[in-house]
Amino acid sequence: MVEFTVPEVDYTRYTNRQLAAIPLAVLVVALIVIGGWYVMTGSPVNQGIAFTGGTEVQVAIDGPQSAAEEQIRSAFSAEPETIRSVPAQSVYVVTFQSEAGSDGISAAALERQAQDAGLDVRSVSSVSASFGANTQVLALGGLGVAFLGMSILVFAMFRVFVPSVAVVLSAFSDIAIPIALMNVLGIELSLGTVAALLMLIGYSVDSDILLNNHILRRSGDFYESTYRAMRTGVTMTLTSISAMIVMTITATLFGIQLLAAIGTVLVFGLAADLMNTYLLNLSLLRWYKFRGVSR
């Protein structure tokens, strides 16, 4: 019978400082990446056309990829910003960034050019620069308000400083790490990835609250409570990760960008959550439990 059990980690072998060092180091690296990105590009993340304005055209072309790309380049009068192919379907996603200041080429013109060149247009979407800027404010504002709301709620629920900070800090790290990874891997911020970052707040808090609850509100030995919380929490996170990996692969094959983006970001975030919950949050809780109280 296949069976996986959550291994019991012997936390007594490590000091709090050792435990917290790894996630904090990763968080610092992530923040450096995000900060560096901001300095270099003027924006903390690579923003997709939903935020910067631009046009995306999806066309279906049969034949080898290089020939198809050649055909795409010759069809449009504007130089495409990117051309991506969707595996398993002969569909190509062509994006045109709207340039600041210039009026750019309109979506209608691009659609006509594609049709004139005999390409099978699957979808066209265009976003103006000002609308993109609006969406950006909405997305960032939504994320900010969500995070703030979560923090207040966590403080209200636990009413003790250190454990609450532990939850908020690991949630912050759970969001920062995937954003840094998105930058490194060239994944653009889209509506899908914003949705995923919002979902991460929920997922992240799930396992943290579980751990805090087991340790703070239950009787019993610290390590025993930790193990019980871990057994449940790790199962939860692994279940979600496996579902998201499978979803990402399927959605990528089918070319459903929104779902693929959500899946990818969630896989990063959930993996970060495993680390943050059971190293960062746990070490803070242990410090609070053994040193904070006796003080």
Partner 1 sequence: MVDLRDNWRIILLIVFILISGFALFSPTLAADDDGGGGNVAATSSVTNLQYGLELSGGTRVRAPLVGVTAEGVEFGGDDPRVVGQNVSDELDGAGPADVTARVDATSGQTTAQPQSEPSSTVEVTAEGITTDELAAALSAAGYEYETVREGVTESTREEVVRILQNKINEAGLSGGTVQQVTTAQGENYVLVEVPNQDASQVRELVSERGTVVIEAHYPTGENYTRDVVLQQDDFQSIGTAQEGQSTGAYVPVTVSESVAPEFQQDMVDTGLAQQGGTRCTYQQNPNGTDPCLLLVVNGEVTNAFGMSPGLADSLRGGSWADDPVFQLQTTNISEAQQVSINLRAGALPAQLDFSQASGGTVSYISPSQGADFRINSLITGIVAVLAVSGVVFVRYSDVRVAAPMVVTALSEVVILLGFAAGIGYPLDLSVIAGFIAVIGTGVDDLIIIADEVMAEGEINSRRVFQSRFRKAFWVIGAAAATTVLAMSPLAILSLGDLQGFAIFTILGVLIGVLITRPAYGDILRALTTVDR
Q: How far is the CB of 239 from partner 1 (least distance, A)?
A: 5
Select the residue interacting with partner 1 from 29, 141, 184, 291 (CB under 8 A).
141
Contact present, 204 and 171 (Cβ < 8 Å): yes
Residues from 197 through 216 that contact partner 1 (CB under 8 A): 198-199, 201-203, 205-206, 209-210, 213
Binding mask 23-42 for partner 1 (x = CB under 8 A): --------------------
- Residues binding partner 1: number (CB under 8 A): 83
Select the residue interacting with partner 1 from 46, 95, 135, 277 (CB under 8 A).
135
Select the residue interacting with partner 1 from 17, 73, 112, 291 (CB under 8 A).
112
Residues from 82 through 111 that contact partner 1 (CB under 8 A): 89, 98, 102-104, 106-108, 111
Residue 137 or 160: the one with the smaller Cβ distance to partner 1 is 137
Residue 178 or 192: the one with the smaller Cβ distance to partner 1 is 192
Helix or strand or coil: residue 127? strand
Helix or strand or coil: residue 85? strand
Residue 23 or 132: the one with the smaller Cβ distance to partner 1 is 132
Residue 65 or 115: the one with the smaller Cβ distance to partner 1 is 115
Asked if residue 267 binds partner 1 (CB under 8 A), the reply is no
Angle 115-118-122 (CA atoms, 0-180°, nearest 5)? Answer: 60
Helix or strand or coil: residue 181? helix
Q: How far is the CB of 8 from partner 1 (least distance, A)?
A: 15
Per DSSP, what are the bridge partners of residue 84?
93
Residues from 163 through 192 that contact partner 1 (CB under 8 A): 191-192
Contact present, 270 and 203 (Cβ < 8 Å): yes
Q: Is the dihedral of CA 85, 91, 92, 97 positive or negative?
A: negative
Contact present, 73 and 110 (Cβ < 8 Å): no
Helix or strand or coil: residue 19? helix
Asked if residue 235 binds partner 1 (CB under 8 A), the reply is yes
Strands (E), 109-150: 120-127
Helix or strand or coil: residue 103? coil
